[in-house]
Amino acid sequence: MRKWMFGVLGVILIVALGALTLYLNPKLSQRIFLKPSSSFDVAAAPAAPDYTDSASWVALPDREDQADNLPPESDLKDRQSDAEVDVFFIHPTTYYSKDGWNAAFDEDGETRELLEEGVMRFQASVFNGAARVYAPRYRQATLYSFMGEEPDAYAALTFAYSDVERAFTHFISTMNKGRPFILASHSQGSLHAMKLLQEKIAGTNVANRLVAAYIVGFSIPEELGADGITACRTEHQTGCYLNWNSVAADAETTGWKQTTKIWIDGQLQHIAGRPIACVNPLTGTLGGAADAKANLGGQPFSEAGERSRALIPELTGAACEDGMLIVSPPTDDEGLTFGVFGGDYHIYDYNLFHMNIRQDITRRISAFWKR
């Protein structure tokens, strides 16, 4: 079985079983879900990334990396060299070890492979047709941090955000040079993006340059708490955010709606039933539904080192229901089902809608220039 997909499976197994065992037996969950054995300690944290050093970035527009990836058998082009818009992409969790609460920013092994061959190749790359891709490495919190309720878990997530904030500050002050920009992310990255929107973008002159924020794969409430930045209600709206969480119709979604940690009023706390924003990636509008005919092409996962697979048109429809995005992709394709448990298509949030996201990016950039 494929090495990279085994890594994904490991992550998803932990996520899928996490909510149940934390509820039934917290002590057992601490053993199963790789809770770090030591307490969180800033003094013992891995060395900080230096964002003036290119080694602290997993993707940059002026070098070859996996964010340059293009689906085969398509007429898509990597246009980063002449794009007039930047994207700041914050990657999801690829570290689920008990060796520490936070990974080294340059963590090697499976953590790096998942980040480069998975996330950059199949998520960040969707922006390369219209924007210059900047993706920082950071000392991400281990996966257990999203499940544990002890202070250490909250401290690890807050610590990870501090790197993202420094990277964004450097990006804006040194790299962006006043161009319009997109904020993009997935999962843990979207938790950090949420705080950036609230504290570093909303209400500042930087907000005037925000084309849109694709803060995908997290429980982002409709009331974000970012002054003037709301969910995208129409496909041509700019300065707004898009969020969706892909699940099957029969998926258990209590965790998404009740216990997910989010930033509210400067504090990490449970979403606790707050309405979740769902912008349908097939339409670019808040709520609603579209059938598979509206899907311009999704991209299945493929093994690290293997040629990427071609796009599949009409891969799935999508409908926003109670804050979740209901999908129904084929169940006989390993590249679309591996790592799916309990109907949760979390790791496929970008893959399922590859071409529609590219179209949405181009459309919102065009609308931005016409403001």
Identify the pLDDT of residue 32: 53
User: What are 228's two structure tokens?
Assistant: 């003037």
pLDDT per residue, tens digit, the chain (371 aa), is 444 444 444 444 444 444 433 333 444 444 455 899 999 999 999 999 999 999 999 999 999 999 999 999 999 999 999 999 999 999 999 998 999 999 999 999 999 999 999 999 999 999 999 999 999 999 999 999 998 999 999 999 999 999 999 999 999 999 999 999 999 999 999 999 999 999 999 999 999 999 999 999 999 999 998 889 999 999 999 999 999 999 999 999 998 999 999 999 899 999 998 999 999 999 999 999 999 999 999 999 888 778 899 999 999 999 999 999 999 999 888 889 877 888 999 999 999 999 999 999 999 999 999 99
Identify the pLDDT of residue 236: 98
356 sits in the region (left: phi over 0; alpha: psi -120 to 50; else beta) called: alpha
Total structural domains within the chain:
1
* Residue among 100, 101, 192, 94 nearest 155 (CA): 101
Identify the pLDDT of residue 16: 43
Identify the pLDDT of residue 22: 39
Identify the pLDDT of residue 214: 98
Cα separation, 242 vs 364, in Å, equals 12
User: What are 32's two structure tokens?
Assistant: 């199963």
Supply the range of the domain harboring residue 197.
3-369
Cα separation, 286 vs 264, in Å, equals 21
Give the angle 146-151-154 at the CA atoms, nearest 5°.
40
* Residue among 234, 176, 164, 175 nearest 200 (CA): 164
* Residue 315 · residue 298 · CB < 8 Å: yes
Give the angle 221-118-349 at the CA atoms, nearest 5°.
30
* CB-based burial, 186-222: b 16+ in 10 Å, e otherwise: bbbbbbbbbbbbbbbbbeeebbebbbbbbbbbbbbbe
Cα separation, 188 vs 102, in Å, equals 12
